[in-house]
């Protein structure tokens, strides 16, 4: 089934009419970034706009997420669009008039764009609600940037109830504005964190044999952990173990009795992911036993690998073909080791996540994410809205056909 051409044309033209307003909203959110779990002002801004448009929404007592529903008929299928809202704890280095006004906080990952695009879809689709092929739910998600991920909270609070498919996007400075990146199967890695403490015994630095050197033990453990990927995991299954933090010691002439280490693990294979914590603890334990030290190991599972549904990718590609043309479609081919908690939605309902190109050298928007100079080409917002709207409508139409069969 295909969306009627006249309806498709109306939706695309409506996006263009809303584009300038969505850009202003994006700039407002960018100027007022909020950290994970603190998205109160963003929540209030969205609510004020939804109220003005007469779009019903649901709020929650334990977080700042929102669920807005564009309902044509409660008996029709519902397809979801997700936009995340949180910013990062880092300063912005920008001369843009909409640069962050909050010291030490900025939208360095593009969630201001994701929220604005999702809101734009809500406004556009609501204007054409009676002509829609189904219902559309807009999930405004908090706390994507933290390990536990706001998607878990939204799922627990019913964001996917009655949802037959879901779509999301992420701005991508490695593709030019006017391009989108798609990926069949696993697109992004799982994202876990770990930590371990080494307990030794203090002694004078000149008499190391009287102590147990926690620094040395930690160094041996770190070195050995780095060999897990290269020697104990099939090289055809990518994995990353990275130590990002180490602390210990009080003085240069004292044998250290305590060191703490923390890091991240990324994989794109669930069975490999399950084995790594055991391999890590076995390695640390063996070294500590050999050196007469004690240890405490911690491992926290974050979002799983993000695995797209093939047919939903087909829907995104077809929508992308309508919006950016065949030349604008980029097969990403290989997964990346970054994590994304949109993966949790995809464990429960079929859906697709795609990359929205934002690189425009003249506008300075080719800077990588999590950089103090990161910014988004506003021209890409309309592209994202159009593809998400068309994808949601097509998925709803197909779900209705299955429902009626």
Residues noted as catalytic: 86, 144
Using alpha carbons, select from 144, 154, 146, 143 the residue that is nearest to residue 300: 146
Contacts of 17-20 with CB under 8 Å at 24 or more apart are 18/120, 18/123, 18/124, 18/385, 19/120, 19/381, 19/382, 19/385
Residues 284, 259 contacting (CB under 8 angstroms): no
Strand (E) positions, 47-142? Answer: 57-58, 66-70, 78-84, 135-141
Contacts of 207-215 with CB under 8 Å at 24 or more apart are 208/255, 210/255, 211/255, 211/257, 212/255, 212/257, 212/291, 212/292, 212/293, 213/255, 213/256, 213/291, 214/248, 214/256, 214/257, 214/258, 214/259, 214/293, 215/248, 215/249, 215/255, 215/256, 215/259
Q: How many other C-beta atoms are found inside a 10 Å radius of the C-beta of residue 131?
A: 15
Using alpha carbons, select from 23, 11, 76 the residue that is nearest to residue 379: 23
Could you give the C-alpha distances from 211 to 196, 252, 253, 290, 295, in angstroms and in order?
20, 14, 12, 14, 16
C-alpha 146/C-alpha 302 separation (Å) is: 9
C-alpha 94/C-alpha 97 separation (Å) is: 9
């Amino acid at each position: 089934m295909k969306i009627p051409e006249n309806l498709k044309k109306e939706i695309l033209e409506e996006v263009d009419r809303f584009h300038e307003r969505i850009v202003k909203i994006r700039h407002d959110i960018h100027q007022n970034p909020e950290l994970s779990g603190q998205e109160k002002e963003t929540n209030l801004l969205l609510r004020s706009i939804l109220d003005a448009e007469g779009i019903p929404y649901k709020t929650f007592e334990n977080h700042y997420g929102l669920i807005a529903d564009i309902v044509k008929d409660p008996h029709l299928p519902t397809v979801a669009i997700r936009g995340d809202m949180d910013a990062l704890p880092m300063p912005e280095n920008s001369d843009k008039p909409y640069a962050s006004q909050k010291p030490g906080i900025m939208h360095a990952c593009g969630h201001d764009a994701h929220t604005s695009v999702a809101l734009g879809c809500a406004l556009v689709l609501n204007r054409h609600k009676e002509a829609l092929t189904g219902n559309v739910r807009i999930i405004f998600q908090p706390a994507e940037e933290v390990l536990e991920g706001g998607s878990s909270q939204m799922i627990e609070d019913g964001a996917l109830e009655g949802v037959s498919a879901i779509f999301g996007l992420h701005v991508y400075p490695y593709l030019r504005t006017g391009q989108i990146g798609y990926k069949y199967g696993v697109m992004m890695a799982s994202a876990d964190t770990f930590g371990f403490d080494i307990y030794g015994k203090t002694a004078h630095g000149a008499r190391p044999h009287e102590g147990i050197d926690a620094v040395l033990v930690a160094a041996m453990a770190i070195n050995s952990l780095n060999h897990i990927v290269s020697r104990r995991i099939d090289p055809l299954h990518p994995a990353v173990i990275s130590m990002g933090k180490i602390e210990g010691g009080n003085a240069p002439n004292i044998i250290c009795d305590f060191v703490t280490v923390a890091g991240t693990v990324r994989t794109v294979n669930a069975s490999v992911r399950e084995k790594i914590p055991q391999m890590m603890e076995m390695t640390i334990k063996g070294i500590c036993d050999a050196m007469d030290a004690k240890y405490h190991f911690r491992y926290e599972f974050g979002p799983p690998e993000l695995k797209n549904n093939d047919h939903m990718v087909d829907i995104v590609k077809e929508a992308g073909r309508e919006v950016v043309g065949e030349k604008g479609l980029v097969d990403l081919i290989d997964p990346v080791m970054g994590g994304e908690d949109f993966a949790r939605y995809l464990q429960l309902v079929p859906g697709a996540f795609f990359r929205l190109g934002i690189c425009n050298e003249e506008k300075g928007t080719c800077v990588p994410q999590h950089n103090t100079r990161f910014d988004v080409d506003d021209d890409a917002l309309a592209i994202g809205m159009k593809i998400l709207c068309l994808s949601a409508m097509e998925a709803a139409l197909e779900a209705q056909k299955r429902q009626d069969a």
